[in-house]
Structure 1
């Protein structure tokens, strides 16, 4: 409740009111009439000091092969190539074609170029639903452990750590293990 005249308190409240000396002066003098000012005072502007500037991390833009249309991320490790050895790429594409994928559906990233990049950054950029890691050297930094040739489901992501194509080219058993897991991925 707002009371314009302090003398009205004596009619509203039945109890005795005791005021301090400083407050008594306020109620004994007539209220000042304040004329509204036509010009409003400018609001203070906030200017950040040197400590307030925050360096934002540079957004990562990955160089990858494919179109990433179906959220299928393939991580490789080839120091001498941009993405993969041509023969290995042909073998991977042959396998993926049998599973109903084309190059436009996947994204192939060579981890050699992004050695310090965390898995979380890769996951935010590519938003994969399926993840294929070709060889133990291709495992991204700070990724939870995966068991070799065992599918791992984590939320909406299905991940598979398998042999590199160098290892598969040397062993028929490795090729069979790779194919069996790829059919489930």
Structure 2
């Protein structure tokens, strides 16, 4: 049988209705050879593309630091450090000094020019009964005192007044206490009708005027002490 290969253009038009273009230099190739060439080219192109793809994939697997475009990064707001506020130092509060009690105010007879205080103790009378007042007049006259020289205070009206409080008010240099004991004035116990000292203050403690008037021995002892005063 003869070869089925034909190059007759008219014959080829019977099988191929589309235009066929012959590539210069390939005029003597068979259809199989022409198709094989195309397949080889496609295979070579595909294989090359695949190898290139694998190569790119291998390159992508390589850990390469990613450079971030600074323009696309949203900067986190910088929060200034809050300074640590030191704890306040606890300062102990000093207790306020006890307020000094207000000085007592006294109502008395006389002008106290010589800073001599005479205390009597009678809850019934302003000074004493008639006998007691007479005895007091004799005592004051015996040491040459007048009403302007001394202050006469009825202690019955101020039963809690201490020696210190009396001194704060009268500033006495000499105190006669008739019917007022040393204990009443918050002082140590003292004998009667004797001159005793409390600091630079002279004191004479004696019985209440009415009782003293009826006690000759007491009056005698008191008289001896009055002479020692040098008034």
TM-score range, shorter-chain basis?
Answer: 0.5 to 0.7
Tell me which of 202, 217, 229 is aligned to 1:158: 202
Tell me which of 123, 132, 139 is aligned to 1:88: 132
Provide the rounded CA distance (Å) in 1 between the counterparts of 2:136 and 2:183. 18
Normalising by structure 1, report the TM-score.
0.63
Q: Map 1:11-22 onto structure 2 (within 5 A).
A: none
Provide the rounded CA distance (Å) in 1 between the counterparts of 2:170 and 2:116. 9
Normalising by structure 2, report the TM-score.
0.52
Q: Are residue 141 (structure 1) and residue 211 (structure 2) matched?
A: no
Q: Are residue 167 (structure 1) and residue 211 (structure 2) matched?
A: yes
**Structure of larger gyration radius:** 2
Residue 176 (structure 2) aligns with: 132
Unaligned runs of 5+ in 1: 1-50
8 Å CA contact 1:163, 1:178 repeated in 2: no
Residue 226 (structure 2) aligns with: 182
Structure 1 runs (4+) deviating above 6 angstroms are none
Q: Which has the higher contact order (CA 8 A, sep 6+)?
A: 1
Three-state SS of the structure 1 residue aligned to 2:128 is: coil
Residue 123 (structure 2) aligns with: 79
Q: Deviations over 1:8-32 (max 9, x none)?
A: xxxxxxxxxxxxxxxxxxxxxxxxx
